Amino acid sequence: MSPNTRGTLIALLAFGIFAGHDALIKALGGTYTSFQIIFYAVLFSFPLTTLMLVQDQTSDTLIPHRPGWTFTRTGAVVVSGICAFYAFSVLPLAQVYAILFAVPLLITVLSVPILRERVRIRRWIAVVVGLGGVLVVLQPQSVTLELGHLAALIAACGSAFASVIVRKIGSDERPVVLLIYPMLGQFILMAAAMPFVYQPMQPADLVMVALVAVLGHIAMRLMIKAYRTAEASMVAPMQYSQILWAAFYGALFFDEWPGWNTAIGAGIVIASGLYILFRESSGPSQNRPVTATRSRIVPGTHPRIGPVMDARKPD
């Protein structure tokens, strides 16, 4: 089996686990607020993340070298995480994924002002077509848009913004800094909100939250292995397999059946994202904001892949 094939299979497994992680969030979101779920998920994630951070042998402090961008990214991760958790709680899984699949398109757009990268006309057309696919999913002309739709859009924008910042400052900041600050930000803010939103949790629900942390950690480890094994252009498209898992989990556990608009819109967004990914992976161009941003499209309580990969395998 070739390295690309092996890495692709590992990535498919990772994204399948991530989809299970998101289904658990949806199940918990029917009872508890996003703030409470994130608080406990981060709490359970700290020991697992520490196991990764101890491998960082760089001799330096935890004070960021580029604090402005670091704290801006932290804010983007925190906001997008809250919005993503809320969107998963109130919207069908497949619909949320269809909106979040716009992240590679948004990364392409943000790479122009932030990274000063050149985006040619074909990629701009792909971006416009892909964002049109998001409108097909939302159907603003015939469906009353809910707060969950806005939350999913904010999550997509925040995730893309955070990813582009990683590409901008990843070579200047230690991976441990890029990993730990968003987690600390989430924990502190969620802890501050707990007195206002806390509901006693049943033992079974605590186990589910712990499982969210464990599944996220396992999937992230698998993603790191996938990117170390195969080319980024082979691994990144596997994220779109989550739409199949979303349809499966939605039908099995939540009686959710994707409508035609979700299926067609998701297809348009996926096709546009794949075009951009393959366009970036071909030729000698160094302007590759999407394939160089090795992150899961859905932000959450777990460290993003990008900074970890920067530490383990140079581009």
Residues of the chain with pLDDT > 90: what percent?
A: 48
What distances in angstroms separate CA 108 from CA 105, 139, 155, 157, 270, one per listed residue? 5, 24, 16, 12, 14
pLDDT at 302: 55
Tally the residues of the chain: 315
Q: Which of 96, 104, 120, 100 is nearest to 26 (CA)?
A: 96
Is pLDDT above 50 for 237? Answer: yes
pLDDT at 115: 86
pLDDT at 295: 56
The mean pLDDT value of the chain amounts to 84
pTM of the entire predicted model: 0.86
What distances in angstroms separate CA 122 from CA 111, 242, 282, one per listed residue? 15, 26, 14
pLDDT band of residue 294 (cuts 50, 70, 90) is low
Is pLDDT above 90 for 304? Answer: no
Q: Average pLDDT, stretch 219-241?
A: 85
Q: For residue range 240-266, what is the model confidence (pLDDT) as tens digits?
A: 999 999 999 999 999 998 888 889 999
What distances in angstroms separate CA 207 from CA 40, 96, 221, one per listed residue? 10, 25, 21
pLDDT at 142: 64
pLDDT at 311: 44
Q: Average pLDDT, stretch 97-121?
A: 89
Choose between 308 and 49: higher pLDDT: 49
Q: How far apart are CA 156 and CA 103, in angstroms?
A: 5
pLDDT at 288: 63
Q: For residue range 114-148, what is the model confidence (pLDDT) as tens digits?
A: 888 888 898 899 999 999 999 998 887 666 678 99
Q: Residue 159 half-sphere exposure, CB side, CA atoms within 13 Å?
A: 34
Q: Where are the beta strands (DSSP E) in 156-303?
A: none
Q: Give the range among 44-48, 199-203, 288-292 with minimum mean pLDDT.
A: 288-292
Q: Give the chain's end-to-end CA distance (angstroms, integer).
A: 24
